Amino acid sequence: MKKRLLLSIVGVATLTIGLSTSRPVLAADTAAASSSQNQTTASSTNTAEGNTNTSTNTDQNQTNTTGDKNNTSSPSDTNKEPNKNTTNTSNAFKYVGKTVKLKKNAYIYDSKGKRIKNKKLKKGTILSIIGLKTVKNKSYLQISVNGKKSKKDEYIKPGNVKLFKVASYKVKRNAKVYNSKGKLLVKGNKYSYVKKGKTVFVFSVKKVKGKKFVGISDTEFLKWSDLVHKTGKAVIK
């Protein structure tokens, strides 16, 4: 009887100790689990917020990139090329009223900008420019050959000419006229000549058989000795 009672007391005590020992363990596990869950939740929240910020920054970067593209394209609209026709016309205008020389063979055009058949001028020809005309955005120079205007207006392209230096002189005496080979020009039975005291424009200088001649046109020449040299004046510089 006493043994049974002793065993009962021992059993109750063991059960009580077991229960009291197990409660703190369960509490600790629960606290640890709660802490782990909270950390997981916080981590998830931070991750979500991070994703939101990343998305926001990405959108802002895209917006800035788009803005940069727009800003990059805008200056190109303001840097437009100058009008080619305006440039060509201004370059051609400097020849008007001046004497020029052909730097290469040149075709002659009519007032409509059409080439005149079988008509062209040789390199070295000296011309006076008396006007300017623009046809279909192309500029043409109106010409006068040997100081004579043709019955129909004639034109050449500006790219065929260059400014030419011209000097004026007075004729010392009645001066015979020669061609480019130094031979006298004869009209009928008479020699051509320029009267004493007349002012002539000299376009070129050349030597023929050791003698100096000056060109008063592209086909007419006088002897240098027939001019009053001290009266020489530059007409075009």
pLDDT (tens digit, 9 = 90+) per residue, 176-201? 999 989 999 988 888 899 999 999 99
- Using the predicted structure, report yes or no on whether residue 49 has a pLDDT greater than 70: no
User: What pLDDT score does 21 carry?
Assistant: 45
d(CA 200, CA 48): 98
Query: Model confidence over 120-175: pLDDT tens digits?
Result: 898 878 788 999 999 998 999 999 876 666 668 899 999 999 887 788 999 999 99
Return all residues near 194 (Cβ < 8 A) that are at least 6 apart. 171, 174, 175, 177, 200, 216, 222
Q: Look at residue 217 in the predicted model and tell me its pLDDT.
A: 84
Considering only CA atoms, which of 92, 99, 91 is closest in space to residue 235? 99
Paired tokens of 183? 């031979």
pLDDT > 70 in the chain, percent = 59
User: Where residue 4 falls among pLDDT bands split at 50, 70, 90?
Assistant: low
**pLDDT value at residue 126:** 78
Give bridge partners of residue 116 from the DSSP assignment: none
Supply the pLDDT for residue 25.
Answer: 43
CA dist., res. 58 & res. 175, Å (int): 93
pLDDT computed for residue 123 by the predictor:
86
Specify burial of residue 74 (Cβ count, 10 A radius: 0-12, 13-18, 19+).
exposed
What is the spatial distance between Cα 58 and Cα 78, in angstroms, rounded to a whole number? Answer: 32
pLDDT for residue 8 is more than 90: no
- Of 11-20, 85-94, 136-145, 201-210, the one with minimum mean pLDDT is 11-20
Q: Which DSSP letter does residue 153 get?
A: -
**Phi, psi of 170, rounded to the nearest 5 degrees:** -95, 145
CA proximity to 184, closest of 175, 173, 196: 175
Q: How confident is the model at residue 204 (pLDDT cuts 50, 70, 90)?
A: confident
Residue with tokens 């009008």: 83
Taking 3-state DSSP, the helix, strand and coil percentages for the chain, each rounded to the nearest 5, stand at 40, 35, 25
Residue in 146, 158, 160 with CA at minimum distance from that of residue 95:
158
pLDDT for the residue 54? 47
CB 141 within 8 A of CB 156: yes
Dihedral of CA 46/52/58/60: which sign?
A: negative
- The pTM (predicted TM-score) of the whole model is 0.44
For the ranges 96-100, 104-108, 190-194, the lowest mean pLDDT is seen at 96-100
Buried b (16+ CB within 10 A) or exposed e, 154-181: bbbbbebbeebebbebbbbeebbbbeee
**Greater confidence, 191 or 20?**
191
Across the range 191-215, mean pLDDT stands at: 91
